[in-house]
Amino acid sequence: MDLIANINTTLAGLDAQSLTRRRRPVDTACAPRLAVEGSPLLAFCSNDYLGLAAHPALVAALCEGASMYGVGSGASHLISGHSRAHALLEERLAGFVGGHLVSPRALYFCTGYMANLAMLTALGADANAEIFSESLNHASLIDGARLARASVKVTPHADLGALAAQLGASSAGTKLVVTDSVFSMDGEIADLPAMLALCERHGAWLVIDDAHGFGTLGANGRGALEHFGLNSPNLVYMGTLGKAAGVGGAFVAAHASVIELLIQRARPYIYTTAAPPALSHTLLASLDIIGGAEGAGRRAHLNALIAQFRTELRLTRWQHGASETAIQPIIIGSNEEALRAAARLHERGLWVPAIRPPTVPVGTARLRVTLSAAHTHEEVAQLTAALNELERTPDES
């Protein structure tokens, strides 16, 4: 019983710091209007930025994919699990972002988490390699850096001078500068052109995690590389396909030799069962929407909602982050107050998650509002009115 008692002590410690997390089963498809444990909620939580997760064309494509390829892949990619559907998707993805790369090729992964582990462990396999990791990077990049044999330096957030100094001082044979393009808890866009210039000067790779940019940034939704008009042989690009693309999985796009190295060496790619081919088939339909007129219309609506949210929100005590993307953080500070704010929104039928450490730095607990093209202007107005009122009225609880 000591074994269990130890675990319960750990869990009680989390509870004492307001750090216990809870899952809420959602009874309906991913959309702004949900049924959650029996009650209707208007949600501002998902990363379904273009509102594609329950799109009828994608539902139809998934059914078609299942009838063509079945449900499971049956094996890993290097055995017999690599379906024609995976191969077609990889070709499409290479073409979709390849205008920004040299000799582009793409590789599809089951999840973004695994893609990040794969990139950093394969490119940073050598003990003589060095990883320069942005301090606000996503947990999956941090874990990938920990798992790599390379040594790791954390670069202070958005500090290009510090990055230049770190690169200048490094004598590593392989240098990897690693960053989120859109920081997932802040919504801020990294200065990728300046980082790339430094990487080119110092012979370093720039590894970009575009989880929140793919589909939403750029005139054609091709993500952060299109947004900034970047093109370089030093780029290694990771985009996720479970957020704006509405389905699941992720991909790495880079020079064909980088991709070949991942296929040969990356354990998170090699030692796992390939994702269901029907998902790849569905993603082809998702790319049609993202890159076409419908995607452009959805991005325009999303950007109008972001502008509306920023204009209507009038905070005096809490801090509204400077984000121009669909991620709009409201930084409250204490874990308890962030949880209370989320609970009071919930009483009004609004679902906004309270994000606490270790997901964000201690003392910066926040409400993380995410907007989607599936929201209406009326729904965003309902949220801003509730937030403005809550911030002003004292909390009796």
Ligand X SMILES: *Cc1c(COP(=O)(O)O)cnc(C)c1O
Q: Are 238 and 209 in contact (CB under 8 A)?
A: yes
Using only C-alpha atoms, the chain has a radius of gyration, in whole angstroms, of 21
* Cβ nearer to ligand X, comparing 212 with 356: 212
- Work out whether 184 is an interface residue with ligand X (CB under 6 A): yes
Token pair belonging to 239: 């985009």
- Work out whether 111 is an interface residue with ligand X (CB under 6 A): yes
Q: Is 391 exposed, middle or buried (0-12, 13-18, 19+ CB in 10 A)?
A: middle
- Work out whether 132 is an interface residue with ligand X (CB under 6 A): no
* Cβ nearer to ligand X, comparing 73 with 170: 73
**Range in contact with ligand X (rule: CB under 6 A) among 64-72, 107-115, 297-305, 385-393:** 107-115
- Work out whether 211 is an interface residue with ligand X (CB under 6 A): yes
Find, among 234, 182, 249, 236, the residue nearest to 211 by Cα.
182
Q: How far is CA 73 from CA 162, 270, 275, 276, in A?
A: 46, 14, 6, 5
Pairing of strands 250-255, 104-109: antiparallel
The reply to whether 216 sits in an annotated binding site is no
**Mask 139-168, x = binds ligand X (CB under 6 A)?**
-x----------------------------
The reply to whether 138 sits in an annotated binding site is yes
The reply to whether 240 sits in an annotated binding site is yes
CA dist., res. 36 & res. 24, Å (int): 7
Determine which one of 184, 280, 323, 372 is catalytic. Answer: 184
Alpha helix (H) ranges present in the chain? 2-16, 56-69, 84-97, 112-123, 139-147, 160-169, 192-202, 224-228, 256-265, 267-270, 277-291, 293-312, 335-347, 377-392
* Cβ nearer to ligand X, comparing 172 with 212: 212
- Work out whether 188 is an interface residue with ligand X (CB under 6 A): no
The reply to whether 320 sits in an annotated binding site is no
Cα first-last separation, the chain: 37
For the bound state, the minimum distance from the C-beta of residue 268 to ligand X, rounded and expressed in Å, comes to: 11
Active site residue 243: yes
For the bound state, the minimum distance from the C-beta of residue 180 to ligand X, rounded and expressed in Å, comes to: 5
| Longest CA–CA separation in the chain, Å | 61
- Work out whether 179 is an interface residue with ligand X (CB under 6 A): no
For the bound state, the minimum distance from the C-beta of residue 249 to ligand X, rounded and expressed in Å, comes to: 7
Active site residue 39: no
Determine which one of 175, 227, 243, 301 is catalytic. Answer: 243
| Among residues 90, 180, 186, 188, the one that binds ligand X under rule CB under 6 A | 180
| Among residues 133, 155, 240, 364, the one that binds ligand X under rule CB under 6 A | 240
The reply to whether 184 sits in an annotated binding site is yes
The reply to whether 21 sits in an annotated binding site is yes
Q: How far is CA 353 from CA 276, 324, 345, in A?
A: 30, 19, 10
- Work out whether 138 is an interface residue with ligand X (CB under 6 A): yes
The reply to whether 151 sits in an annotated binding site is no
Q: How far is CA 279 from CA 111, 209, 267, 274, in A?
A: 12, 21, 22, 11
CB count within 10 Å of CB 242 equals 18
Q: Are 338 and 359 in contact (CB under 8 A)?
A: no
Mention every residue, 6+ apart, whose C-beta is less than 8 A from residue 70.
Answer: 277, 278
Active site residue 175: no
The reply to whether 108 sits in an annotated binding site is no
* Cβ nearer to ligand X, comparing 146 with 314: 146
- Work out whether 112 is an interface residue with ligand X (CB under 6 A): yes
Residues forming contacts to ligand X in the complex (CB under 6 A) are: 111-113, 116, 138, 140, 180, 184, 209, 211-212, 240, 242, 250
| Catalytic residue IDs | 184, 212, 243
Question: Residues comprising the binding site?
Answer: 21, 112-113, 138, 184, 212, 240, 359
